[in-house]
Structure 1
Amino acid sequence: MAMSERRRRTAEALGEADDVVRALDEGLRGHGIALPSLGVDPLSCAMVDPRPLVELGRCNVATARQLVELLDRCPK
């Protein structure tokens, strides 16, 4: 694969990961839930052909409880 093609694919993968992190953050904040360490995992982007992972991070018990309550209200 040519370097320019690899860079394009990397940029697309990172852009998609950033977009989904932003959408998830907005959606959670719309329900009063903030995950301060929500972001793209930088190590998953370090490969030649990156496959970004979304790092949900750590949260306190109260925030975890809010997530459980929100999920309980959602249809399955």
Structure 2
Amino acid sequence: MAMKKPSKDAPAGSVADAREAVAELRSALRKAGVTLPSLGLDPVSCAYETPRPLVELGRCTVETARRLTAALPGEE
């Protein structure tokens, strides 16, 4: 899967760019059969005068952790 470049309207590291990255990750995980219920943006990192958004992966069940591991390259 090719990584998307930041859009021209949103500078790299912007909240809009981070939201787009979260949506792309959610979609890719869904295709691999993995759901991270807490996946989203960390609100504290977006609250700075100049936002430095972080993606919050959150917690998951043991089953989900194993599915995620199996979906990664090199794992069988």
Calculate the TM-score normalised by the size of structure 2.
0.78
* Corresponding position: 1:37 with 2:29: no
Post-superposition CA distance 1:32-59 (Å, at most 9, x none)? 1000110010000111111000000000
* Corresponding position: 1:69 with 2:70: yes
Identity %: 49
What is the CA–CA distance in structure 2 between the aligned matches of 1:32 and 1:70, rounded to whole Å?
A: 8
Report the aligned-residue RMSD: 2.0
User: Highest CA radius of gyration, 1 or 2?
Assistant: 1
What is the CA–CA distance in structure 1 between the aligned matches of 2:28 and 2:17, rounded to whole Å?
A: 16
What is the CA–CA distance in structure 2 between the aligned matches of 1:63 and 1:43, rounded to whole Å?
A: 26
Q: CA deviation at 1:70?
A: 1.1
Q: Identify the structure with the greater helix proportion.
A: 1
What is the CA–CA distance in structure 2 between the aligned matches of 1:9 and 1:51, rounded to whole Å?
A: 13
The one-letter amino acid paired with 2:44 is: L
Unaligned ranges ≥5, structure 2: 1-8
Unaligned ranges ≥5, structure 1: 1-7
Query: When the two structures are aligned, how many residues end up with a matched partner?
Result: 65
